[in-house]
Amino acid sequence: MGKTIMIMALLALAAATAHATQFVIKDIPAYAWYHGCGPTAAASILGYYDMHGYDNLFDASGWEDVSLTKNVKDEISSPEHNAKYDRNPNNASLPDPPDTSIADFFHTSETLPYGWSYLSSADNAFTDYAAYRGYDDWSAWNSSFSRFSFTDLMYEIDNNSPLMFLVDTDGNGRTDHFVPIFGYDDMTMQYACYTTWSEGENIRWHDYQSMGNRWGVGYATIIRTGIPDAPAPIPESSTMLLFSTGLAGLTGYRKRLHKNK
């Protein structure tokens, strides 16, 4: 009997140890896709910071409000931005909207098909939107997968710094979707994210690997708040004018958009 109890205890300890290196940042809201995956993914990260010292980022207060897409949709993409850019081609008869939402600073759909965003605008989308909301102590930069290791990912998450990936959801070697990143498991070498395809979704886990694999990582956007302690970002080449369709997971759109590319 005593041996049986000991074995059960060892098995329980082994099970606990197997997940001891999994870490997930709490209070990351999951938003339903709204006028672009870039602004929607960025909103999840901004929503976290809205509840952790930067409460003027959204016109919502507390988890119950901040976690609902309907309460922050105008901060994701403003009605003026939607009216101007939800058409292809863009509605030339309307004036350029003021920069008031994440989509404005991300330049989502501007000179691009509906919902598309350029990687080259991702870092400024965070810093410029934060500055618009009254915070000038933010910095951000984009890094390619080859320059951003799994150890770098763990460093960000361990320091409660969610980030954003531009990924290759279907493994065709091209990036097509922005997602918020807020966890890792160094036993399985996986990252935790939301797809942005539904509100309140469960955490998705994907292997940390390069493009050409399903959910492979092309680029990371790293964000710093407070007095920046980040190393100087390494300039990337002009090939970073890559984009996300923003519609990769919406039924009926994905295959058509890949053909259009």
DSSP string, 90-151: --TTSPPPPS-SHHHHHTTTTTSSTT-EEGGGHHHHHHHHHHHTT----EEEEEEGGGS-HH
Higher confidence at residue 253 or residue 41?
Answer: 41
pLDDT of residue 203: 97
pLDDT of residue 20: 57
pLDDT of residue 239: 42
pLDDT at 241 over 90: no
pLDDT at 3 over 90: no
pLDDT class of 244 with cuts at 50, 70, 90: low
- Tokens found for residue 117: 């965003």
Long-range contacts of 65-72 (CB under 8 A, 24+ apart): 66/29, 67/29, 67/30, 67/200, 68/199, 69/31, 69/32, 69/34, 69/199, 72/31, 72/43, 72/47
pLDDT of residue 200: 87
pLDDT of residue 21: 86
What is the CB neighbour count within 10 angstroms for residue 188?
15
Q: How far apart are CA 207 and CA 198, in angstroms?
A: 21
- Tokens found for residue 179: 């997602």
- Which domains are present in the chain? 32-260 (3.90.70.10)
pLDDT class of 4 with cuts at 50, 70, 90: low
Q: What kind and span of H or E run contains 86?
A: none
pLDDT of residue 206: 98
pLDDT class of 88 with cuts at 50, 70, 90: confident
pLDDT class of 210 with cuts at 50, 70, 90: very high
**Range among 83-92, 121-130, 228-237 rated most confident:** 121-130
Unique residue bearing structure tokens 């098995």? 11
Measured in degrees and rounded to the nearest 5, phi and psi for residue 26 equal: -85, 170
pLDDT class of 212 with cuts at 50, 70, 90: very high
Average pLDDT, the chain: 86
Q: How far apart are CA 81 and CA 98, in angstroms?
A: 8
pLDDT class of 2 with cuts at 50, 70, 90: low
pLDDT in tens, 92-109: 889 999 999 999 999 999
Indicate the DSSP class of residue 238: G
pTM, rounded to two decimals:
0.83
Rg (CA), the chain: 19
pLDDT of residue 8: 53
Q: How far apart are CA 21 and CA 68, in angstroms?
A: 30
Q: How far apart are CA 245 and CA 153, in angstroms?
A: 24
CA 57 to chain centre: 16
As beta bridge partners, residue 118 has 243
Percentage, residues of the chain above pLDDT 70: 79
Do residues 28 and 200 lie in contact, with contact meaning Cβ atoms separated by under 8 Å? no
Percentage, residues of the chain above pLDDT 90: 75
